[in-house]
Amino acid sequence: MVANILANDISIPVLIVGGGPVGLLGAVLLGKRGVGTLLAEKHVKRLDAPKAHALNARSLEICAAAGLPMAAIHAAATSPKDGAVVRMVTSLVGEELGSLPYERQDEAMRALTRWPLINIAQPRVEAIIEQAARTLPGVEIRRGYEWTGCVQQGDTVVSILVERATGQTSKVRSRYLIAADGAGSGVRDQLGIPMEGPHALQSNMMIHFEANLRHLVADRPAILYLLFGPGTNRTLIAYDIDKTWVLMHRCAANAKPEDFDEAVCRRLIFQAIGTTVPDLQIKGVRPWVMSAQVAHCYRSSNAFLVGDAAHRFPPTGGLGLNTGFGDIDNLAWKLSATLSGYAGEGILGSYETERRHIAEINARQSLSNAMRMKVLTEVLGYGPDLSVDAETFAARLADPQNRSKIDEAIQYQKEHFDSLRLQMGFAYGGALDADDALPICEFKPKAVKGARLPHVALADGRSSLDLVARDEMTLFCGSRGGDWKTLLDHLGTPIALRQQGIAFHCVGDFCEHTGIAANGAILVRPDGHILAVAPGASEQAVEGLRRALAQYLARTNDSIAKPYAANAAKVWHVFTRRQA
Nearest-angstrom CA–CA distance, 220 and 462: 35
Amino acid at 495: I
Q: Using one digit for the tens of pLDDT, what is the confidence trace for 45-69?
A: 988 888 999 999 999 999 999 999 9
Nearest-angstrom CA–CA distance, 261 and 285: 9
391-407 b/e with 16+ CB inside 10 Å = b?
Answer: eebeebbeeeeeeebbe
Binning pLDDT at 50, 70 and 90, where does residue 576 land?
very low
Give the CA distances from residue 443 to residues 111, 122, 220, 435, in Å, rounded to whole numbers and listed in that order. 12, 27, 29, 9
CA angle 224/227/230 to nearest 5° reads: 170
Q: What is the mean pLDDT of residues 532-554?
A: 91
What global pTM score does this model have? 0.94
Strands 521-524 and 473-477, by their bridges, are: antiparallel
How many other C-beta atoms are found inside a 10 Å radius of the C-beta of residue 547? 13
Nearest-angstrom CA–CA distance, 427 and 355: 10
Among 187, 149, 152, 156, CA closest to 11: 156
Note the pLDDT of residue 6: 47
Question: How many helical (H) and strand (E) elements, i.e. helices and strands, does the chain have?
Answer: 17, 24
Q: Is the pLDDT of residue 561 over 80?
A: no
Among 126, 116, 100, CA closest to 316: 100
Q: Is the pLDDT of residue 118 over 60?
A: yes
Nearest-angstrom CA–CA distance, 117 and 129: 17
Nearest-angstrom CA–CA distance, 49 and 207: 9
Q: Using one digit for the tens of pLDDT, what is the confidence trace for 367-411?
A: 999 889 999 999 999 998 889 999 999 999 999 999 999 999 999
Q: What is the mean pLDDT of residues 195-207?
A: 94
**DSSP state string for 78-109:** PPTTTTSEEEEESSTTS-EEEEEE-S--SGGG
Q: Using one digit for the tens of pLDDT, what is the confidence trace for 293-346?
A: 999 999 999 999 999 999 999 998 899 999 999 999 999 999 999 999 999 999
Nearest-angstrom CA–CA distance, 80 and 223: 9
How many other C-beta atoms are found inside a 10 Å radius of the C-beta of residue 201? 15
The DSSP call for residue 139 is E
Give the CA distances from residue 265 to residues 234, 236, 242, 520, in Å, rounded to whole numbers and listed in that order. 13, 13, 19, 62
User: Over the chain, what is the mean pLDDT?
Assistant: 91
Nearest-angstrom CA–CA distance, 85 and 88: 10
Strands 37-41 and 139-143, by their bridges, are: parallel
